[in-house]
Every structure is written in structure tokens, then in C-alpha cells.
């Protein structure tokens, strides 16, 4: 016990030192933990600051939402503009485009009459007539002969010469009294509808009627372009109408890429023409309906195409030589193509002369029955519908390039869907795919009754692509036609 008392002081000192060391160690440990915590807090703060810099401000979110709304509105406005721009009137009666007409076949006859009047109105707009017919010239001969007293043989020969001179004068008078040569039979299936077919096979008739309507829209555009072009580039006395003054002197034919109508033929109603009109040179006129260009089966080029062109009264292959590369300079206009002596099939109901360049189709053309020997620029889908057509004209050779440009330029049109009847919309639905320029024998043309004046004239045949926006006219499109494109247009609802 005395020992403990003697050592108590030392023991207390040791205990105090041990306690101090413990407190120091604890303090050190707590301090280290706090420092680590502070470092962690500092790291979190720094991360939060970095995250804050990357966060989208509320105002930006509002702007994005407004932008999305504006885009949706712009999309709808674009769709509405497409509808307005491409909406086209249909021939009456509109009921004829229904899938089920309830046995009212009189609508067929009304459509036939209205289409024939439509074509005849196109000629009035053009201020167009055809050459004097053989019947007209025979009447001139007969009238002259009836007014003369028979004489000697020499006298009769002289009189015959006078009669032929009179006929030539009458031919020239016709040329100087109209703006352009054209007749109804050069337009799609005019002679067919003139007979007022009344087939009770509604599916066949509906098909023929729809494609005739498509042809009507294209022909209306072509005629409008020719009319405006002739007015813009008229030569000589611009106030006088004359084939001599018009750069486009004759529409030889307008051809399409489908088959002949399958709806049969009826009896000619007389109508405004009274009888079938013979297309010059062929006697048949334009017999083929349009057909949509659609993708067929995959090939090494990604697609093959049907409906690119099946012919105009026959199965014409590619027109002329290969077209120039897109974007390249056009060939020299007015240059005579190398004659081949090959007689080409009819185009627009007219048989071409034997000096036409070779028109043999390529052996492996990707366009099945195609109008051009290559894949077309576009094929149809449920947004755009593509049709090929050809137009053949007699034209002043110095205006060929301008005419090609005129076909492809933007045009102003009114819309059926616009509340503002004065509103105009721009559209450009035609692209020229191929150009074929041929020399003509003016003596042959004169002998057939066509007089063009003193200008150098060439025959130009253009293969063109016409693109429809389906949403502009699908209201009238039969379901059987829509099925061609595989789906209902997203713009239709």
C-alpha cells in the first residue's frame, strides 16, 4: 500500500500522458475525417456547378416547345399548300369516279361528251384547226368544175392546173387564218370517247375514265404552255394570227404510256364533230391511255420500272438516241440527226417519215416497255404519282431550246381548295427526259396541206415526266387505283 502511495504520482502522470495521447489521436482522426468530408463536399459542389452549366434553361425548353409547334404548323401548312397547288378540277359528272355507281351507266355517256368538249375547247384556246381535209379540197374542185364549161383537152389541163393553184391558195389561207395546226384526234382517246362507249363492266370503265382524266390534266397543261409560248415568241405582225408567225406551228401528237381503253366502243353520237376524226398520216389518232410509272422488282440498279411507256397506238421503244447527260450542255439545236432510214412507230397517232433516227429499244432496258432506255428519274409512291408522256411538234428550229425550257418552267395556277379565288400558286410538274430532233421535207409537208412560212422548221419529239402530288387529287381517285401505290397517302386524312 505504501508502495502504491509512493508511486501514485508517477501512475497519475503516466495516465495523464496516455489520456493526452488518446485525445490527440482522436483529434487527429476526427480532423482527417472532417478534411475528407470537406473535400467530398467541395467535389460535390464543383460537380453541381458543372452540371448546372450543362442543364437546359427553362426558357430554352419553352423555345424548343414553340419550335416544335411551329414545325408541326409548317408541316401542315406545307401539306395544305401542296393540296392547293395540285388540286385539279375533274370532268363531270364526279359521280363517275365512284367504285359503285349503282347501275347508272348514263354517267359514262356524260363523261364521254364532256371529255370530247374539253378537247375541242383546248383547240379553241389554241386558235387551232387542222389542214384542209380531203373532203374540203374535193368540194373546192367540184365547185370550180361546176362553174366552168367543158372545153378542149388542153383547156381541161389548164383548168386542172388552175384548180390545183386554187387549192394551194386555200391551204395558205388556212395557215394564215389560224395560230397553229392541230385536230382533236391527236389528244388521248378522243375518237374512243366520241363513240360514247357504254360497257357495263364498271371496273374496266372506271379504269379508262380515271386515266383519261389524268390525260386531260396533262394535256391542259401542255396546251396552256404552247399557247403562252406562241404568244411570247410570235414573229412578224404580232397582232395577226398566223401559223407563219407562231414558233410552234403544229402539234403532231400527244402520246401516253399505257394501253388502249378496255371499255369497248359504242356508237358515234354525232356530237360537235359528227364523225370520227382521222389523225393525219395514221388515220387513228392517239389511242393510248396514261399509266403510272411504278417500281416493279429489285435489279442491280435497285429497281426496275413498269409503266414507263407502253406506246401510242403501238409499242414504241425509246425515242431517238440516248438523252444527253443531265446538267450537260444540250446538243446543237437545229442540227440534222444522222438519217437511218428506219420507219418509226406512230407517236400520238402519226406515222413518222422514214428519215426518223433509229428508235430500237435497248436490249436490256430497265424500264419495262419503257419510253426511255434507262430508269426514269422518279417512280410513283403514295405521295407522288408519276406519268410519262410525249409531245411531238413542228417548230421553228431557232426556238427549240426555249420551248424545252418553257415546258419545265414554274407556272401559276389557281386552286380549287382556296377560299380566295384570286390566289395563285406556283407549280412545276413537267421534266423533259429526252429530246429527238428530226429534219422535215417541206415539199412533203406542203403536199399534205401544211404550210409553215419561211422559217426553218424541225420536228421535235419530247419525252417528259409529269409528277402529281397524290394528296391534291386523291379525293376522286378510285381505291383500285390507290392500291397500285401500296398504301393510303398520309396526306389524305
Does residue 359 fall inside a structural domain? yes
Picking from 345, 371, 343, 367, the residue whose alpha carbon sits closest to that of residue 355 is 343
Q: 33 and 106 share a domain?
A: no
pLDDT score recorded for residue 139: 87
Contact, 459 vs 440, CB < 8 A?
yes
pLDDT score recorded for residue 364: 34
C-alpha dist (Å) from residue 90 to 216, 408, 413, 424, 476? 9, 23, 15, 19, 8
Which of 11, 30, 55 delimits the end of a domain? Answer: 55
Q: 239 and 337 share a domain?
A: yes
Q: 387 and 462 share a domain?
A: yes
Q: 250 and 335 share a domain?
A: yes
Q: 202 and 310 share a domain?
A: yes
Q: 395 and 347 share a domain?
A: yes
C-alpha dist (Å) from residue 342 to 197, 339, 352, 358, 457? 36, 8, 10, 6, 21
Does residue 485 fall inside a structural domain? yes
And the C-alpha cell for 317? 421503244
Q: 120 and 8 share a domain?
A: no
Strands 128-129 and 180-181: what pairing? parallel
pLDDT score recorded for residue 49: 60
Does residue 190 fall inside a structural domain? yes
Q: 42 and 107 share a domain?
A: no
Picking from 271, 260, 228, 311, the residue whose alpha carbon sits closest to that of residue 115 is 271
Does residue 447 fall inside a structural domain? yes
Q: 473 and 406 share a domain?
A: yes
Does residue 225 fall inside a structural domain? yes
Q: 39 and 112 share a domain?
A: no
Q: 322 and 401 share a domain?
A: yes
And the C-alpha cell for 2? 505504501
Q: 225 and 329 share a domain?
A: yes
Does residue 367 fall inside a structural domain? yes
pLDDT score recorded for residue 33: 63
Domain, as residue range, for 261: 91-127+178-492
Cα angle value 188/191/193 (rounded, 5°): 80
Does residue 123 fall inside a structural domain? yes
Strand partners, 347: 350
Does residue 62 fall inside a structural domain? no
Q: How many domains does the chain have?
A: 2
pLDDT score recorded for residue 371: 57
Each residue's pLDDT tens digit, 41-51: 667 666 666 65
Q: What is the block-wise mean pLDDT of the chain (493 residues), using blocks of 10 residues?
A: 65 73 67 66 64 65 77 75 75 82 78 94 95 89 71 60 89 95 94 82 87 94 94 83 95 89 56 40 63 66 40 36 42 43 32 33 37 67 90 96 93 56 71 94 95 96 92 86 70 44
Question: Hey, is 268 helix, strand or coil?
Answer: coil
φ/ψ of 167, rounded to 5, equals -65, -40
Amino acid at each position: 500500500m505504501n508502495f502504491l502511495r509512493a508511486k501514485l504520482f508517477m501512475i497519475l502522470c503516466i495516465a495523464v500522458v496516455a489520456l493526452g495521447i488518446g485525445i490527440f489521436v482522436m483529434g487527429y482522426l476526427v480532423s482527417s475525417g472532417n478534411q475528407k468530408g470537406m473535400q467530398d463536399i467541395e467535389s460535390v459542389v464543383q460537380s453541381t456547378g458543372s452540371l448546372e452549366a450543362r442543364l437546359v434553361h427553362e426558357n430554352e425548353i419553352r423555345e424548343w416547345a414553340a419550335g416544335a409547334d411551329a414545325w408541326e404548323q409548317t408541316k401542315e401548312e406545307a401539306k395544305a399548300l401542296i393540296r392547293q397547288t395540285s388540286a385539279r378540277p375533274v370532268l363531270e359528272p364526279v359521280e363517275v369516279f365512284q367504285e359503285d355507281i349503282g347501275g347508272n351507266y348514263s354517267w359514262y355517256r356524260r363523261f364521254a361528251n364532256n371529255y370530247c368538249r374539253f378537247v375541242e375547247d383546248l383547240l379553241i384556246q389554241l386558235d387551232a384547226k387542222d389542214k384542209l381535209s380531203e373532203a374540203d379540197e374535193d368540194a373546192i374542185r367540184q365547185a370550180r368544175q361546176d362553174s366552168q364549161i367543158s372545153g378542149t383537152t388542153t383547156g381541161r389541163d389548164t383548168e386542172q392546173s388552175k384548180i390545183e393553184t386554187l387549192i394551194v391558195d386555200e391551204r395558205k389561207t388556212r395557215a394564215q387564218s389560224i395560230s397553229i395546226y392541230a385536230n382533236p384526234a391527236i389528244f388521248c382517246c378522243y375518237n374512243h370517247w366520241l363513240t360514247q362507249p357504254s360497257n357495263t363492266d364498271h371496273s374496266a370503265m372506271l379504269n379508262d375514265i380515271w386515266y383519261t382524266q389524268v390525260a386531260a390534266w396533262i394535256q391542259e397543261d401542255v396546251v396552256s404552255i404552247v399557247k403562252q409560248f406562241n404568244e411570247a415568241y410570235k414573229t412578224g405582225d404580232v397582232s395577226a394570227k398566223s401559223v407563219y408567225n407562231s414558233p410552234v406551228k403544229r402539234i403532231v401528237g400527244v402520246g401516253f404510256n399505257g394501253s388502249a381503253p378496255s371499255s369497248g366502243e359504242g356508237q358515234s353520237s354525232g356530237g360537235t364533230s359528227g364523225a370520227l376524226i382521222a389523225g393525219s398520216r395514221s388515220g387513228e389518232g392517239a389511242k393510248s391511255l396514261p399509266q403510272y410509272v411504278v417500281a416493279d422488282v429489285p435489279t442491280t440498279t435497285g429497281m426496275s420500272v413498269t409503266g414507263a411507256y407502253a406506246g401510242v397506238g403501238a409499242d414504241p421503244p425509246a425515242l431517238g438516241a440516248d438523252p444527253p447527260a443531265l446538267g450537260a450542255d444540250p446538243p446543237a439545236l437545229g442540227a440534222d440527226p444522222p438519217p437511218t432510214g428506219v420507219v418509226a412507230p406512230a407517236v400520238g397517232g402519226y406515222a413518222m417519215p422514214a428519215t426518223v433516227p433509229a428508235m430500237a429499244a435497248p436490249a436490256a432496258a430497265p424500264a419495262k416497255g419503257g419510253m426511255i432506255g434507262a430508269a426514269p428519274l422518279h417512280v410513283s409512291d403514295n405521295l407522288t404519282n408519276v406519268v410519262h408522256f410525249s409531245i411531238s411538234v413542228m417548230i421553228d428550229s431557232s426556238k427549240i431550246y426555249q420551248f424545252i425550257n418553257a415546258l419545265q418552267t414554274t407556272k401559276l395556277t389557281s386552286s380549287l381548295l382556296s377560299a380566295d379565288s384570286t390566289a395563285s400558286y406556283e407549280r412545276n410538274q413537267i421534266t423533259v427526259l429526252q429530246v429527238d430532233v428530226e429534219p422535215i421535207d417541206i415539199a412533203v409537208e406542203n403536199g399534205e396541206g401544211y404550210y409553215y412560212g419561211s422559217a426553218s422548221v424541225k420536228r421535235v419529239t419530247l419525252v417528259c415526266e409529269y409528277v402529281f402530288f397524290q394528296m391534291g387529287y386523291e379525293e376522286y381517285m378510285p381505291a383500285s387505283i390507290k392500291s397500285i401505290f401500296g398504301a393510303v397517302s398520309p396526306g389524305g386524312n
